[in-house]
Amino acid sequence: MKSLAFVVLLCLGCGLMTSSFVHKPPHMWSKLILTHHWPSTFCSMEHCHSKFDYWTLHGLWPDKGQECNSSLHFNETLIQDLLPEMQKWWPDLKIPESSRFWKYEWQKHGTCAAKAESLNSQHKYFGKALELYHKLDLDGVMKKCNIVPSETYYTEGKVQILGQIEICFNSDFQLDDCEHSETDTVNFNVKGAGFSVCDHATPVYYPPLKGKLLV
């Protein structure tokens, strides 16, 4: 990836407002949002214990519609060859050995992505998400830019905690502008936990995995 210009950072805010979900008609999407989780932040919210010290996949989200086709049931046997990669790069951070997170992402977002022929099966959807994830190499790009987790970067004062990064693509899987409008369908809340677009005026804390200092 040449630039992070199209990235949207989402933080666990301190007094920041979260975006509301706005329903749109479930017609064809025009943008895909490849969403990354920072496990340390997620587990601080969800009370889990993550072993992952790299950005994991959260999902590949079309910008229009949710749960678009209830007849497209999740079937793990259709993605057997992808499972080793998914377990490593797209884990359920709360229950890593479970497939429930993939089922949820397929039903909520994959069935809408499937409106495009290029993503009209579970294998195409999950495979493309993994392909884009590896192509972008978010961890590598951030390290090259010297953006790394640290316990000591901010020691006091009001900060927001980096928890999610979104990178956007058009329908041809080329990088696209990630700017959100008031009618976007993306919901920044994780079970009401409080993710919102980072406030540029507030320092951002990028926490390391608990017990592992990465400076």
- Return left, alpha or beta for 86; rule: phi > 0 is left, psi -120 to 50 is alpha, else beta: alpha
Residue with tokens 């640290």, as numbered in its chain: 150
Q: What is the DSSP letter of 190?
A: S
The number of beta carbons lying within 10 Å of the beta carbon of residue 90 is 22
Residue 134 known to be catalytic? no
Q: What is the DSSP letter of 63?
A: S
* Whole-number Cα distances in Å, 63 to 26, 113, 170, 213: 10, 9, 10, 36
Catalytic hit among 105, 117, 156, 182: 105
Strands 160-170 and 31-37, bridge-based pairing: antiparallel
* Whole-number Cα distances in Å, 96 to 9, 36, 50, 92: 24, 16, 9, 5
* Whole-number Cα distances in Å, 204 to 74, 103, 163, 176, 178: 37, 32, 10, 24, 19
Residue 105 known to be catalytic? yes
34, 134 contact by CB (below 8 A):
no
Residue 109 known to be catalytic? yes
Catalytic hit among 37, 46, 47, 58: 58
Catalytic hit among 27, 46, 76, 109: 109
Rounded Cα distance, 55 and 37, in Å = 6
Q: Which residues are identified as catalytic?
A: 58, 105, 109
